[in-house]
Amino acid sequence: MHIKSTFIHLSKIGLKTENELWLKKILTWDDYQKNIENTNLFFDKSSSRLFESYQALDNNDIEFFANTLPNKEYFRLALSFPSDVLFLDIETTGLSRYYDHITMIGWSINGEYDYYVQGIHQENKFREALSKAKIIVTFNGAIFDIPFIKNYFKNVETPLCHVDLRFLAKGVDLSGGQKSIEDQIGFKRSKALKSTDGYMATVLWDEYKWGKKSSLEKLIAYNHSDVEGMKAILDFCIKKIYIKNGYRKHFKIPFKFTSLKAKLNRKQIKDFAQSSKIPFDPMAALKYKELATKINRNIQIVGVDLTGSEERPTGVALLRNNKVETLQINTDDDMIDYIIKSKPDLVSIDSPLSLPFGRISVFDDDPGRDEFGILRICERVLKKRGVNAYPTLLPSMQKLTKRGIELAERLRKLGIPVIESYPGVVQDIIGLPRKQASLKLLKKGLGKFGLTGEFLKKDVSHDEIDAITSAIVGLFFLSYDYEAIGDLRENLMIIPDLDAKRKVKKVFGISGQIAVGKTTAANFLKEQGFKYTRYSLVLENILERENKEINRENLQALGLEMSKNQIEFSKKVYENIAEYDNIVIDGLRHPEDYTFFFEQYGYDFKLIHIVSDDTTKEKRYVNEGHTTKEYKRAVTNKVESDVPELKKYAYTILDNNGTIEELKHKIVDLIKEEN
């Protein structure tokens, strides 16, 4: 009905009272004044409850009514002011306002369709159209379109009166997405667009910005169909509301929005698309060398697009500087053999590598299933950013998660650092087309990025291409252009981030066998201003709490017990130094210690391995008040067995068979190298 038949915007009149007025044949404001207010001898227009309503109507002040009507009744305003209604739909690169952006906006007002294309049109084109509208109609715009627009166009104002068809349709028992509702009400799109959906719209944009101009024509036509579909949905919903609420007993529907059908000028669209300057130059996109220059050393990264079963091949990519080698591998043993031979600085795996905090098993029979759930903190963060991240322990993900955790654990025990990567946002950051647009186009994009290899010439699986993208996340990690999201109690997920604030840190780990001078070296660094911690400090604190004597025998026994979960041991050490920039960590004993701190600090972490000959070590130990027998027992203790392995991962190996002063000079020289 027309706004002049509406009374619920008045104080103390609700839907029930309004209906009672209609039943009494009080169908308009004029009827109300004549039959209720005019009975008062002293009535005058200015004292009418409807005085402000008449003024607002005369002034076309739609906001006055929008402020007083319930949102679900905004359709009445649309029916009353059809020439002020703007139907609007946006297209984006994806669903996340955090990572994605608007590609185009289409709108129709008073039977005319127009559009804005990002990178081609000036912002004022859309702003001017929006400023003319007093009522806006969208589908799911309250959640999607309007927040995207306000995020993209700074200080933009949208009409207060917003009819969101998703919710209006729900009120008349229509559910699902726009295309589903169109099918339910019998709205027909052209055959050429029938299979196009929101995801394909992102693909069309990718195709366009990489040179296929006809894809922009199709994208605009798709957007136009969305806008026209909204008109049909609005008409259908209004008709159903009239039937459901009994409005048609009293009123005819005053307007049909499908009568304002906006025709698409296909020739004009084609001319526009073909003459447009594509708002993306692959040659100007982020390049490999920009990240590599920051790293400033030879780079070797293995990217893994892991599958949930050894029966299905996993895509693997080795990035040696900018040269890529890809292959498919089935078994974990074969994958580990390949990684060992590749000698990478880092392995980047596209798979969950940890459980939600509190969980002890990937499967649903875990006693903590109900309390701790199936999501980790990192997935919660991504969901808040609008990214559809699969829950780690969704039934379909459980085997993949188990495999990822076990693979990472095996690699870390071998001294190979591992990160959990999220390659999903890499494409937008470096301007890559999605593989769904064209695997050929995506490979071309990787070539423009600066990668070389046989994958550019030969057919490779999409798993291998995904593995390359995972390796690129490793590149972002090593160049410090990343964000680590999540909770360290679980596992941190690595997200590329070109706005990351790089803060150079100096982090030294000290390893070596008993009596080589580890603590002497570490204490000297402490004197130079480095924050000092050591693994045995954690052990001492535990022994103290348990009222046990702090001696080497007890320390080694507890250390052996803690080594059953060495990563958790390293996390406790890290808690003591996480907030500092210059750090020395004394007493690394296992390859996992090295991998843990590399995974936190990248190349800022440098392992110093100190060596001395056996005679010198024994002499020092005995001079501290121990016996030769005690020395031999201590040095052969199982907890010390991995120490020689750390020599492989050392940034530098210091020979300490001389004096303390000589050792200090070597440390000073090392610090100077880092300045």
Q: Strand pairing of 112-117 and 135-138?
A: unpaired
What is the pLDDT at residue 675? 67
- 267-325: pLDDT as tens digits: 999 999 999 988 776 666 788 999 999 999 999 999 999 999 999 999 999 999 999 99
Max Cα–Cα distance, the chain, nearest Å: 119
Question: Rounded to whole angstroms, how far apart are CA atoms 204 and 217?
Answer: 9
**Could you identify the residue written with the tokens 């990160």?**
419
CB atoms under 10 Å from CB of 36, counted, come to: 15
Torsions phi, psi for 346 (to 5 deg): -160, 145
Q: Strand pairing of 102-109 and 112-117?
A: antiparallel
CATH homologous superfamily for 506-674? P-loop containing nucleotide triphosphate hydrolases (3.40.50.300)
Question: Rounded to whole angstroms, how far apart are CA atoms 21 and 7?
Answer: 9
What is the pLDDT at residue 282? 62
Q: What is the rounded average pLDDT of the residues 441-468?
A: 93
DSSP state of 452: B
Question: Rounded to whole angstroms, how far apart are CA atoms 285 and 278?
Answer: 14
Domain map of the chain by residue range?
A: 3-59, 76-280, 283-496, 506-674
- 127-172: pLDDT as tens digits: 999 999 999 999 999 999 999 999 999 999 999 999 999 999 999 9
What is the pLDDT at residue 281? 62
Question: Rounded to whole angstroms, how far apart are CA atoms 73 and 69?
Answer: 6
Q: Say if CB 420 and CB 492 are below 8 A apart.
A: yes
Question: Rounded to whole angstroms, how far apart are CA atoms 266 and 288?
Answer: 40
Q: Say if CB 606 and CB 508 are below 8 A apart.
A: yes
CB atoms under 10 Å from CB of 21, counted, come to: 18
Q: Which helix (H) or strand (E) holds 319?
A: strand 314-320
- 530-589: pLDDT as tens digits: 999 998 888 888 888 889 998 888 888 888 888 788 898 999 999 999 999 999 999 999
> What's CA 675's distance to the chain center, in Å?
35
Of 198, 267, 270, 206, nearest to 229 by C-alpha is 198
What is the pLDDT at residue 540? 87
Say whether pLDDT at 43 is over 70: no
Question: Rounded to whole angstroms, how far apart are CA atoms 1 and 27?
Answer: 10
Complete DSSP assignment for 520-541: HHHHHHHHTT-EEEEHHHHHHH
Question: Rounded to whole angstroms, how far apart are CA atoms 582 and 508?
Answer: 8
Question: Rounded to whole angstroms, how far apart are CA atoms 567 and 355?
Answer: 14
Say whether pLDDT at 415 is over 90: yes
What is the pLDDT at residue 437? 66
Three-class secondary structure assignment of 182-237: HHHHCCCCCHHHCCCCHHHHHHHHHHHHCCCCHHHHHHHHHHHHHHHHHHHHHHHH
Say whether pLDDT at 618 is over 70: yes
Question: Rounded to whole angstroms, how far apart are CA atoms 487 and 484?
Answer: 9
End-to-end CA distance of the chain: 77
Which amino acid is present at 195? Answer: S
Q: What is the rounded average pLDDT of the residues 365-382?
A: 94
What is the pLDDT at residue 25? 94
- 489-501: pLDDT as tens digits: 998 999 999 888 8
Total H helices, total E strands in the chain: 28, 17
pLDDT band per the 50, 70, 90 thresholds, residue 673: confident
Q: Strand pairing of 531-534 and 300-305?
A: unpaired
Question: Rounded to whole angstroms, how far apart are CA atoms 326 and 348?
Answer: 14
Q: How far is CA 243 from CA 4, 26, 75, 235, 250, in A?
A: 20, 20, 15, 13, 11
Say whether pLDDT at 207 is over 90: no
Question: Rounded to whole angstroms, how far apart are CA atoms 672 and 675?
Answer: 5
Q: In terms of residues, how long is the chain?
A: 675
Question: Rounded to whole angstroms, how far apart are CA atoms 81 and 324?
Answer: 61
Tell me the average pLDDT of the chain: 92
pLDDT band per the 50, 70, 90 thresholds, residue 40: low
- 160-195: pLDDT as tens digits: 999 999 999 999 999 999 999 999 999 988 877 877
Cβ burial of 245 (10 Å; 0-12, 13-18, 19+) is exposed
- 55-93: pLDDT as tens digits: 999 999 999 999 999 999 999 999 999 999 999 999 998
Selected residue with higher pLDDT from 249 and 44: 249
Three-class secondary structure assignment of 246-267: CHHHCCCCCCCHHHHCCCCCHH
Question: Rounded to whole angstroms, how far apart are CA atoms 411 and 519?
Answer: 29
Convert 151-188 to b/e letters by CB count within 10 Å (16 or more is b).
ebbeeeebbebbbbbbebbeeeebeeebbebbeebebe
What is the pLDDT at residue 284? 64
| CA geometry: angle 489, 492, 494, nearest 5 deg | 180
> What's CA 647's distance to the chain center, in Å?
38
What is the pLDDT at residue 120? 92
pLDDT band per the 50, 70, 90 thresholds, residue 342: very high
DSSP state of 191: G
Three-class secondary structure assignment of 25-70: CCCCHHHHHHHHHCCCCCCCHHHCCCHHHHHHHHCCCHHHHHHHCC
Collect all residues with Cβ–Cβ distance below 8 Å to 287 and sequence separation of at least 6. 449, 450
Cβ burial of 555 (10 Å; 0-12, 13-18, 19+) is buried
Give the chain's radius of gyration (CA, Å).
34
Fold of 76-280: Nucleotidyltransferase; domain 5 (3.30.420)
Name the strands in the sheet holding 161-164, side by side, starting at the edge strand that comes first in the sequence: 112-117, 102-109, 85-92, 135-138, 161-164
pLDDT band per the 50, 70, 90 thresholds, residue 48: confident
Say whether pLDDT at 648 is over 80: yes
3-state secondary structure of 239: helix
3-state percent helix, strand, coil for the chain, nearest multiple of 5: 50, 15, 35
Least confident of 303-307, 442-446, 462-466, 616-620: 442-446
- Indicate the pTM of the whole model: 0.86
